[in-house]
Amino acid sequence: KNICILLSGSGTNLQNIAECISRGEIQNAKINLVIADRDCYGLLRAENLGLNSILIKRGKTFTEDLVNAIPENTDLIILAGFLSILNESFFKEISIPIINIHPSLLPKFGGKGMWGNHVHEAVLKNKETESGASVHFVTEEIDAGNIILQKSVQISENETAETLAEKVHKIEYEIFPEAIKKIINFID
Ligand code: GRF
């Protein structure tokens, strides 16, 4: 199955997924393209991993450009730290599954403004005892599609947004590949 990965940041999840594929831990999968919406470290990772990559900057024709860039043979779109919001016209054009990873136990701490360390700060401010990561289907409503997999982490007494981010990232490297495997087996 051909996977197209969209990102905006460091791309450690991309790296992890690519390594899982090379080690045979995710079978029947190939990353056919990495698309970034800005200059980011993830693009460099894609190049270093020998993957096809392209930069599509936000602008008037962003959605159209994005739709046109997604290769026709793509079976699954993965958002791995992608910060642009996909709009109605995107969903009209693209009918293959799209999945995303979010650094909280959705539906808690999802939605607009809930990205990066903002999520972890909100979790700590709310005095939660646990947080986690969720892999979910992407729909027009932000972070609200059906959840595929979730895993929690305990919050320790002296937790900071940074230490929590690190903990959550670690479990992302477990559940994202698991969720991808599930979806791939599901797509015929
Ligand atoms: C992850 O924390 C993910 O939950 C969020 O964006 C971050 C991406 O991290 N959607 P990386 O670029 O894969 O390191």
pLDDT tens for 99-143 read 999 999 999 999 999 999 999 999 999 999 999 999 999 999 999
Percent of the chain with pLDDT over 70: 100
- For residue 162, give every residue at least 6 positions away whose Cβ sits within 8 Å of its Cβ, in sequence order, or none: 117, 120
Q: Which CATH architecture has domain 2-186?
A: 3-Layer(aba) Sandwich (3.40)
Given ligand 1 and candidates 10, 101, 117, 164, which is best to mutate, with the most ligand atoms within 8 Å of its CB?
Answer: 101
136 belongs to the catalytic site = no
Under the banding of pLDDT at 50, 70 and 90, the label for residue 187 is: confident
- The answer to whether the CB of 180 falls within 8 A of the CB of 78 is yes
**Nearest CA, atom 2, ligand 1:** 103
So what's the pLDDT on residue 34?
Answer: 98
Q: Is the pLDDT of residue 167 over 90?
A: yes
- 81 dihedral zone (left: phi>0; alpha: psi -120 to 50; beta): left
- Which DSSP letter does residue 146 get? P
Mutual angle of helices 12-22 and 161-186, in 10-degree steps: 40
Given ligand 1 and candidates 10, 12, 13, 131, which is best to mutate, with the most ligand atoms within 8 Å of its CB?
Answer: 13
User: In sequence order, what are the beta bridge partners of 149?
Assistant: 135
The candidate with the shortest Cα–Cα distance to 89, out of 64, 71, 65, is 64
Atom of ligand 1 at shortest distance to CA of 133?
A: 4
